[in-house]
C-alpha cells in the first residue's frame, strides 16, 4: 500500500511523500471503517486486480516494480476505473460503490493534507492565525494555506 500512495503523492524538494506521512495506514483505516460495503469490496477487488495485472505485465509484484512501471500500472487503472461523467457517474457510485482508483486517490489526498506533515510541510501553515483577511493576493508559485 505504501508504494501506491507514494506514487500518488511523491516526495518533492520541499515536501515529504504520502508514505512518509503514513497515509497508507490512513487509507486502510478509512476503507475498513468508513467506506460502504460496496466500495470496500471494489477496493479489495481492485487491489487483487492490480497485483494480477502487474504480475502478468512485469512478472513481479507491484512493490518490486520500478517507479516508471508502477506509474504505468496506475495510469492503466485510472483509465480503467474512470466513472461515467455527470449524473450517471454519481448513480454508478451510489449503486455499485466507488472504483478502486477513485477511492485510493480520494483517501490518499485527504490523508496527506490532513496529516501533520501534509498540513505543515506541503502547504503553508500558521499555528496561531493573525487577523482575518478575506482576500489575500496569490503570488504564483506560493504554497496554499492549511489554515488562515
Which region holds residue 126: left if phi is over 0, alpha if psi is between -120 and 50, else beta? beta
All three cell numbers of 142: 506560493
Q: What is the pTM of this model?
A: 0.80
Tell me what pLDDT residue 144 has. Answer: 75
Sequence ranges of the domains in the chain? 2-122
Quick check: 3 and 63 in contact, CB under 8 A?
Answer: yes
Tell me what pLDDT residue 78 has. Answer: 92
Cell 454519481 maps to which residue?
90
Tell me what pLDDT residue 148 has. Answer: 46
- Other beta carbons less than 10 A from residue 79's beta carbon: 9
Tell me what pLDDT residue 43 has. Answer: 95
**Which stretches in the chain have pLDDT values below 70?**
126-130, 145, 147-148
Tell me what pLDDT residue 91 has. Answer: 80
What is the rounded CA–CA span in Å between residue 61 and residue 43? Answer: 18
DSSP-derived secondary structure for 74-130 = HHHHHHHTPPPSHHHHHHHHHHH---HHHHHHHHHHHHHHHSHHIIIIISB--SS--
Tell me what pLDDT residue 128 has. Answer: 64
Quick check: 50 and 43 in contact, CB under 8 A?
Answer: no
87-97 pLDDT per residue, tens: 877 787 777 78
Q: Which residues contact 76 (CB under 8 A, 6 or more apart)?
A: 53
Amino acid at each position: 500500500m505504501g508504494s501506491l500512495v507514494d506514487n500518488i503523492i511523491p516526495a518533492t524538494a520541499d515536501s515529504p511523500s504520502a508514505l512518509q506521512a503514513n497515509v497508507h495506514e490512513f487509507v486502510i483505516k478509512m476503507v475498513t471503517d468508513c467506506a460502504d460495503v460496496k466500495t470496500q469490496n471494489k477496493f479489495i477487488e481492485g487491489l487483487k486486480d492490480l497485483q494480477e495485472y502487474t504480475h502478468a505485465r512485469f512478472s513481479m509484484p507491484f512493490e518490486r516494480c520500478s517507479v516508471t512501471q508502477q506509474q504505468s500500472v496506475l495510469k492503466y487503472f485510472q483509465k480503467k476505473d474512470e466513472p461515467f461523467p455527470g449524473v450517471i457517474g454519481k448513480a454508478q457510485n451510489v449503486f455499485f460503490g466507488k472504483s478502486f482508483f477513485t477511492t485510493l486517490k480520494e483517501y490518499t489526498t485527504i490523508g496527506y493534507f490532513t496529516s501533520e506533515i501534509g498540513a505543515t510541510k506541503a502547504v503553508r501553515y500558521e499555528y496561531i492565525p493573525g487577523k482575518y483577511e478575506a482576500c489575500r493576493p496569490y503570488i504564483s508559485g506560493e504554497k496554499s494555506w492549511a489554515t488562515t
